Amino acid sequence: MSQIPNSLHGQDIANILHPYTNAVRHQEVGPIVIERGEGIRVYDDTGKDYIEAMAGLWSVAVGFSEPRLVEAATRQLNALPYYHTFTHKSNEPSIRLAERLVAMSPARLSKVFFTNSGSEANDTVVKLLWYYNNAMGRPERKKIISRRRAYHGITVASGSLTGLPVNQQDFDLPIAGVRHLTCPHFYREGREGETEEAFAKRLADEFEALVLAEGPETIAGFIGEPLMAAGGVVPPPATYWQKMQAVCRKYGIMLVADEVITGFGRLGRTFGSDYYGIDPDIMVVSKQLTSSYQPLAAVLISDELFEGVAANSARIGMFGHGFTTSGHPVATAVALANLDIIEERGLVANAAAMGEILQKGLASYADHPLVGEVRGAGLIGAIELVSDKAGKTPFDPVGKAGRYLFERGHEHGLIIRAIGDTIAFCPPLIITQSDVADMLARFGRALDDTATYLR
């Protein structure tokens, strides 16, 4: 890898602070510069191809270089490259997208607020809940309950909802008023002899006990990813969502489904809420909404929430929240074309069918001595590596095996994600059966290398 100062690699090292990167190590190893993409593959500046088994950052539903999204963006750039949605202004693609999102989302959601990123969307959720409860004359009802290992973003409020140490340590997070429950990971948190249902009940009891200890009148919302992704791909135990939802309803706590990853087909249903039977008061979507060709996220809210917020905006004079690019016409035009493609090509059904093949393929590694657990749902899966299978013993240091496998993956032309020692897969929804086989074969080679290295 070239590190000549005036090369692209050298310029990268000299000028960029990379997200989610060890900045000191980056000075030594430099970047992998991705030049182009095609379908489920991307190519670096040496021409080497990689299967993008993570769809970028869990997000490129329709694959790379989809011409219809390029056309939609170009058409909109020519027609109206930018306008805002402040002070009663609007634009056609945003109006049409909002109508479409309301029509396709769970029943109670009736209004849409646009942001650029999932983090901004979850910050908006926190502010909406605070604003709403002030409007309703319940200023004490402000706390939000999340889970350990949840991922809801990295801004000050959303980073507080996130339950991962690396996003909080030395950032002085979380802020006050956020609580975290046990991660619903049966393999790690379940007890000897406990069934999944009993585990789910224990977690719902923990939730209720926390609500009672804090005072139900102080709890505004509970937020969860239907299936936790960035915290290590954790499908909830059977009956978890029904039980958690019942606690929310019992105490008038707003249920927020963070569908930033699960939205638009990832689990083989349109939303994770459909897959798990969740009936949210608020839903957050992003990523696969535009296949990340444009930055866009949306918060969908119930009528009940909207009525309170609207009345307060009238009292104050306006709803004093919004971004310069909320409802950006190019982003919303790309989203509309992207949703057309998902619908026309049956990509939700494809995710269900390819998901089954992926889960079976991953399960075939279950007996491997390094594999502690195989888990997932639909077209998202993971393999957790352990140093001792019987004792479920993590590696020391945690991440040692995952990091090595991740780097060997690059050598074998595979981009995966290592979350500690858990290897995640979340390929584009357009993936085919032979692509799944190719992806798993590349993974198998990287796993063999890792086993040799650790021996």
CA nearest to 446, candidates 425, 419, 416: 416
- Closer of 150 and 386 to ligand PLP (Cβ): 150
Tell which residue, 108, 102, 121, 103, has the closest CA to residue 280. 108
Closer CB to ligand PLP, 13 or 157, in the complex: 157
Residues that bind ligand PLP (CB under 6 A): 57, 117-119, 122, 151-153, 225, 229-230, 258, 260-261, 286
Least distance in angstroms from the C-beta of 230 to ligand PLP = 5
Q: Which is nearer to ligand PLP, 135 or 260 (CB)?
A: 260
Distant-in-sequence, close-in-space partners of 95: CB < 8 Å, separation ≥ 6: none
**Residue of closest CB approach to ligand PLP:** 118
Least Å distance between CB 161 and ligand PLP? 9
Question: Which residues are 144's β-sheet partners?
Answer: 178, 221
Minimal distance, residue 455 CB to ligand PLP, in Å = 34
Around 309, how many Cα atoms within 13 Å sit in the side-chain half-sphere?
20
CB of 414 to ligand PLP, least distance (A): 20
Minimum CB distance to ligand PLP smaller for 260 or for 405: 260
Find out whether 417 and 410 touch, Cβ atoms under 8 Å. no
For residue 145, the minimal CB distance to ligand PLP (Å) is 16
Task: Tell me how far apart the alpha carbons of residues 379 and 349 are, in angstroms, rounded to a whole number.
Answer: 11
CB nearer ligand PLP, residue 57 or residue 357 = 57
Q: Which is nearer to ligand PLP, 135 or 377 (CB)?
A: 377
Q: Which is nearer to ligand PLP, 299 or 370 (CB)?
A: 299
To ligand PLP, the closest distance from the beta carbon of 122 in angstroms equals 6
Whose CA is closest to 29, among 63, 60, 71, 1?
1
Phi, psi of 376 (to 5 degrees): 150, 180
Hey, what are 128's tokens?
């909406």
3-state per-residue secondary structure call for 107-147: CCEEEEEEECCHHHHHHHHHHHHHHHHHHCCCCCCCEEEEE
Q: Which amino acid is at 210?
A: L
Burial class (CB in 10 A: 0-12, 13-18, 19+), 149: buried
Minimum gap (Å) between residue 262 Cβ and ligand PLP: 8
**CB burial of residue 235 (10 Å; 0-12, 13-18, 19+):** buried
Identity of the residue, 117 or 332, whose beta carbon is nearer to ligand PLP in the bound complex: 117
Q: Tell me the closest approach of the beta carbon of residue 20 to ligand PLP, in angstroms.
A: 10
Short-list 372, 446, 368, CA closest to 409: 446
Give whichever of 39 and 226 is closer to ligand PLP, judged by the CB atom: 226
**Residue 220 to residues 146, 254, 316, 380, Cα–Cα distance (Å):** 11, 6, 21, 31
CA distance 300 to 110: 7
Task: Compute the least distance from the CB of residue 159 to ligand PLP, in Å.
Answer: 9
- HSE on the CB side for 304, CA within 13 Å? 12
Say which DSSP state 64 is in.
B
CB of 200 to ligand PLP, least distance (A): 21
Q: For ligand PLP, give the closer residue by CB, 120 or 373.
A: 120
